[in-house]
Amino acid sequence: MAVSPQGKIFIFNFMERKILVLNQEGKAINSFRLDIDGIKSSGDETLTVLGDKDSKLFHVYDVEGNPIRSYGEHFEIPRKLAEYDYPTVVYPQQFTVSESGRIYVCNPHSYEISVYRNGELEKKIKGDNVVFWPVSIKNGREVTFTFVSVFESRERIYSFISGHGEAPPQLDVFENGQQIKSLDVIGHIRAIDSKGRLYAIVEEPFLQVVRYVVK
């Protein structure tokens, strides 16, 4: 789901590959089909989607489903994975749009965060964490990769790494492009508010929301 500043609601039906557009009262105003993997609000009344089209990462559409522009180069694929045509090998499975309009996406093959603004690559930020697990394929079909979500708060950037195997999830803290700390966290961090507080979903021992303050 994604919500525009004026309250338009975009719902992505993954199974039908369909976008449903609602107004702020919840009335359906349009729908269209897209072969994509994720959606976010662009910070205006358009929609930014992640998908493999025209060898670009990001694609911007209006509420009628008309393409506006595409940008962002695919990440270089390691030679050992070049023969596979899996989406998780070609591009990441998620991205983040901040209130400033910046888009953050992590290279699925190395811990490097690309930052886009106004459709242009602004910078890259390198991280270091043993929990990060590059895409790997076993027995020709078993795909393993790490989910990375990036959140912006003034001069700080927080990178949440979902963890791998028995390793706990991690939150890496960056200031001015430099990694300054790695913290163990519980749950899956999903959002950040205007004060820089992070919100995580925790499923055990019962479903709850945990709010983190990083000092």
| pLDDT tens by residue, 69-85 | 999 988 887 777 767 66
The residues pairing with 29 across neighbouring beta strands, listed in sequence order, are: none
pLDDT tens for each residue of 11-46: 998 888 899 999 989 999 999 988 777 788 877 888
pLDDT of residue 77: 79
The residues pairing with 28 across neighbouring beta strands, listed in sequence order, are: 22
Average model confidence (pLDDT) for the chain? 87
Task: Please tell me what DSSP assigns to residue 95.
Answer: -
As a whole number of angstroms, the distance between CA 186 and CA 184 comes to 7
Task: Give the DSSP letter string of 23-69.
Answer: -TTS-EEEEEE---SEEEE-SSSSEEEEEEETTEEEEEE-TTS-EEE
User: Is the model more confident about 201 or about 144?
Assistant: 201
Region 137-141 average pLDDT: 72
Residue 138, helix vs strand vs coil: strand
pLDDT of residue 90: 66
The residues pairing with 121 across neighbouring beta strands, listed in sequence order, are: 116
Residue with tokens 């927080």, as numbered in its chain: 158
Quick check: 212 pLDDT over 90? Answer: yes
Tokens for 118, please give them. 């106004």
pLDDT of residue 92: 77
Lowest mean pLDDT among 8-17, 115-124, 138-147: 138-147
Region 136-154 average pLDDT: 81
Of 39, 107, 98, nearest in space to 72 by CA: 107
As a whole number of angstroms, the distance between CA 161 and CA 180 comes to 15
Residue with tokens 């991205």, as numbered in its chain: 95
As a whole number of angstroms, the distance between CA 184 and CA 205 comes to 18
Percent of the chain past pLDDT 90, that is, above it, reads: 47
- Reply yes or no: is the peptide bond before residue 205 cis, omega within 30 of 0: yes
pLDDT of residue 87: 62
Of 177, 183, 181, 187, nearest in space to 208 by CA: 187
Helix or strand (DSSP H, E) at 90 = helix 87-90
